[in-house]
Amino acid sequence: MPKNSYFFLCSFLLFSGLVFGQKKTLQTKSTDTKITIDGKFDESAWKDVDVATDFVMIDPDNGKPAPNERRTEIKIVYDNTAIYIAATLYDDEPQKILKELTLRDIFSTADHFGVLINGYNDGQQEFRFFVSAAGVQQDGVYTESGDEDFSWDAIWDSHVDVTNFGWCVEMKIPYAALRFPSEKKQTWGLNFYREIRRFRQQYSWSLLDRKIANESVQAGILEGIENIKTPTRLFLIPYASQYLYSSKNQKTIGEFKGGMDIKYGINDAFTLDAILIPDFGQTKFDNVELNLTAFEQQFTENRPFFTEGTDLFSKGNLLYTRRIGETPEIEVAENESVIDQPSSIKLINAVKVSGRTKGGLGIGVLNAVTENTGVTVKNDDTGEIRFENIAPVTNYNVFVLDQRFRKNSSVSLINTNVTRNGEFRDANVSAFVWDLNTKKNTYNLSGAFKYSYVNNMADTDDQKGIAANINLGETSGNYRYSIGSVYASKDFDNNDLGINNQTHYHGFYANSNYRTLNPTKIFNSFQAFLNSYTEFDNRTGRIQAGNLNLYFNAYDKQNDYYGFGIYSNPLKVYDFYEPRSFEEQRFVAIPKNVRTYFLYSSNYNRKFAFDINPSITIFDEKDRKNYGILLSPRYRFSDRFSLVYSFTFNRQNNNIGWIDFDDDDNTIFARRNRITYINGMQGKYSINNKMNFNLNLRHYWSYVTNNEILTLMNDGSYVNNTTYTTNKNSNLNLWNLDLTYSWWFAPGSQVSVLYRNNASLFSREFNREFGSNINDALDSENLNHVFSISIRYFIDYNTVKNSKFYKSFTKPKERVHF
């Protein structure tokens, strides 16, 4: 071959490699034209602007170009206050575009368009703005850990039009909703997203390669923005709420609450959030269960302040925000009762400051203060009254430093501190956390080292403990794996502001999985996982856990979901927590067992869909087994109205667990049967994309009958006990109903109306008939009622500053000369 041919071939290959490695770039331009957000694109500003197109599929056929008949074309312009997006989403069957109405931030059965913006172009964090074909907005923050936080809400404008060629989206995103450096020339990370729901297909402008976990590093580039200023980010959200409480034993009483949320941009990167006199009375109820385990039940955080923008504070898994203002616990004698026990410890105020410097250093500070809380205790025999302080004034603090580098890695220092007023225990926990990825995001080394110090008061000694974990894994491609180890010392304790159930153990694990990145003849997607874990008690060397798990997930060609798994525990293990002994000195033997389950979830695009999830666990012990089933049909009557019903049944036969200690300090167990029924209903009716009615109903009934009393022996076995006669059967009967109306009457401003009733009944003597228990739960004697109206109004300093009223008020007055 001639030399010049070699030169041409090498040059072509080099050029192709460079082109392939280059990121997509979109050029924007400034405009002085006033743009009306109406979905029409008829302003002159939209002429002669670069177009972003050539979308490629994310899922299910990763990398496949979008067909021409369903192509997407996008333009961006900007002015001194905001960027504007005009998106034309072609569809050759516009009458089939799905457009279900829902509450804000809920991705429903609808087509969606989204813009993903990283003002620092550092591959670490994106602000994501989505709108459905029904005009419903969703917004959230994505971080390099792969998490999306949709509790974050911004104020932006959008309009949607469904046309005879598809649909159009026009957006206005103010700079106050974004984060970017204070530089004359801006270069932003940018991507666009489109979901064609009827095909369950997702597309992006810049390819999101499913071989790579971090989506932000795969964004394209937005250029052309110059000479814009970071606006003053000062938002005030005052609120006023009125509550009415009523029950059979208490006449209706009213309570008025008022307060304010404040959001202030300290600079272009850091934001201060504060709540003054908070009100969480309309947050979702907790799904309480009959808890027979040695560990507390963990609840989901539903309070917006503690869910929004908390990705920094979740580093190291040291923070369980439900500790702040948690339900108080008090132990009284059997002949005593608590009068007017509060449902929670009142939060006085809370503040958080978070952000990230240009050099990638994230700084976060969260501080909250709760008030002194006491209860009145009555002696039922003598009538004597005493006051007991169950929680002093307490300060909770979290401090985080998180240094990101190379667009995909970070190291972090975290400290949590709880300081209680007076002679109460204080606690301090620190952690060093690392998350390191290779340049091509193919391998990951992550882990943490944690140190806890608890300053116990009175006669108890201080505690110092450590915990650590390390993980090494391949994170790209069809085949992925990880290996790792965990360790916790006896005195490690982060439960003052975190949640941790186990200590004094070490364990080892190995995980592997396979996934398809493109459809096969049978499946749109398929995943298989194989996991193993072994755990030992540090003090005795006894095995605490030993399991080998295999499970599969798949979507078929009709986008129905299938799951199947086998969780095997092939070794007898020892539980040091169930006996509730001092410093977990005693243990109980857990026999070999195997659990299997099947899950089918039909495509939610259909008006009628359903989920079914049966499972069974069999123990290597006579007649001991668990089985259950979840059934959940759903029907979408229209784009406005839908209902979802769920029914769960679980039964544990010959379960063995702790119930008490006897007078001789023996550990008493019981061989017992447990049966649980859970009925739930969720309903939604949307008047439009700003007004919604929502129903959330739950009836929970679980009861336990102790058939055989046992005494725990020192070797972890048990023998029959014929002398213990105390009734420790349990019956928990719960009812919760929330009916809400929500109206976003102005940007960021909301009226919400809530009617709630609930009942909570616990007994040792009970009727095992389902009808009798639900009648008890709905009996007016047992129901508590709450009716509340809350109004929150969003005030943007920039809007106020530019208003005619503000300008006339602040305009210098002319001097009067005499």
pLDDT digits (tens, 9 = 90+) for 423-438: 889 999 999 999 999 9
The pair of structure tokens assigned to 191 is 């991507």
Taking 80 as the threshold, does the pLDDT of residue 331 lie above it? no
Cα-based torsion angle of the residue sequence 336, 726, 651, 565 in order, rounded to the nearest 10 degrees? 80
pLDDT computed for residue 19 by the predictor: 38
Lowest mean pLDDT among 370-384, 581-595, 613-627: 370-384
- Segment 221-245 mean pLDDT: 92
Q: What is the mean pLDDT of residues 137-155?
A: 84
Q: What is the pLDDT of residue 269?
A: 79
Segment 695-728, tens digit of pLDDT: 999 999 999 999 999 999 999 999 999 999 999 9
The mean pLDDT value for 570-595 works out to 96
Q: What angle do CA 132, 127, 212 make, to 5 degrees?
A: 95
Q: Render pLDDT for 754-777 as a digit per residue (tens, 0 to 9).
A: 999 999 999 999 999 999 999 999
Q: Are 287 and 323 in contact (CB under 8 A)?
A: no
- In the numeric block, which tokens belong to residue 100? 């279900």
Q: What is the pLDDT of residues 280-303, one digit of tens each?
A: 888 999 999 999 999 999 999 988
Report which of 212, 215, 210 is spatially closest to residue 114, judged by C-alpha positions: 215
293-297, 352-356, 382-386, 414-418: range with lowest mean pLDDT: 382-386
Residue 571: both structure tokens together:
């070794």
The confidence score (pLDDT) of residue 406 equals 84
Question: Sign of torsion, CA 156 161 162 165?
Answer: negative
When pLDDT is cut at 50, 70 and 90, the band that residue 52 belongs to is very high
Tokens of 677: 């029924």
Residue 70 has a pLDDT of 97
pLDDT at 440: 86
Determine the Cα angle at 507 with ends 504 and 508, to 5°: 165
- Span 81-130, pLDDT tens digits: 999 999 999 999 999 999 999 999 999 999 999 999 999 898 888 999 99
Mean pLDDT rounded to a whole number for the chain: 91
The mean pLDDT of 516-545, rounded to a whole number, is 96
What pLDDT score was predicted for residue 15?
Answer: 38
Confidence of residue 806 (pLDDT cuts 50, 70, 90): low
Parallel, antiparallel or unpaired: strands 201-204 and 730-746: unpaired
pLDDT at 698 (0 to 100): 98
Q: How many CB atoms lie within 10 A of CB 554?
A: 18
Q: Smallest Cα–Cα separation from 706: which of 693, 694, 720? A: 720
Which among 469, 402, 477, 468 has a CA at the least distance from the CA of 438? 477
Q: Residue 94, SS3?
A: helix
CA atoms within 13 A on the CB side of 40: 7
**Residues 89-102: tens digit of each pLDDT:** 999 999 999 999 99
The pLDDT score that the predictor gives to residue 812 is: 56
CA distance to 431, 461, 495, per residue, from 453 (Å): 12, 11, 11
Q: Is the pLDDT reported for residue 14 higher than 50?
A: no
pLDDT reported for residue 13: 36
The pLDDT tens digits for 191-204 are 999 999 999 999 99
Q: For residues 618 and 594, is the Cβ–Cβ distance under 8 A? A: yes
Distance between CA atoms of residues 411 and 402, nearest Å: 6
| Arithmetic mean of pLDDT, 543-552 | 97
Rounded distance between C-alpha atoms, residue 635 and residue 684, angstroms = 11
**Beta 72-78 vs 29-30: how paired, if at all?**
parallel
Q: Which of 573, 567, 570, 571 is nearest to 552 (CA)?
A: 567
Whether residue 811 has pLDDT greater than 80 = no
pLDDT tier, 458 (very low <50, low <70, confident <90, very high otherwise) = low
Reported confidence tier of residue 364, pLDDT bands at 50, 70, 90? very high
Distance CA(524)–CA(526), nearest Å, equals 7
Rounded Cα distance between 767 and 798, Å, is 63
- The first and second tokens of residue 477, run together, are 């491609």
For 675-724, the DSSP string reads EEEEEEEEEEEESSSSEEEEEEEEEEEEEEEEEEEEEE-TTS-EEE-SS-
| pTM, entire model | 0.91
Residue 656 has pLDDT above 80, yes or no: yes
Rounded mean pLDDT of 318-338? 83
Q: Could you tell me the pLDDT band of residue 327, with boundaries at 50, 70 and 90?
A: confident
**Residue holding tokens 């008030």?**
371
Q: Of all residues in the chain, what percent carry a pLDDT higher than 70?
A: 95
Separation of CA 421 from chain center: 32
The full DSSP string for 156-177 is -EEEEEE-SSEEEEEEEEEGGG
Cis ω for the linkage preceding 633 (within 30 of 0): no
Q: Is the pLDDT of residue 16 over 80?
A: no
Q: What pLDDT shows up at residue 17?
A: 39
Instruction: For residue 799, report the phi and psi dihedrals to the nearest 5 degrees.
Output: -65, -45
Q: Which helix (H) or strand (E) holds 19?
A: helix 3-21
Question: Is the pLDDT reported for residue 144 higher than 80?
Answer: no
The whole-number average pLDDT for the span 227-233 is 86
Q: What is the pLDDT of residue 11?
A: 44
Return the pLDDT at 21. 52
The β-bridge relationship of strands 641-661 and 667-686 is antiparallel
- 3-state secondary structure (DSSP) of residue 635: strand
Label residues 675-690 b or e (16+ Cβ within 10 Å = b): bbbbbbebebbbeebb
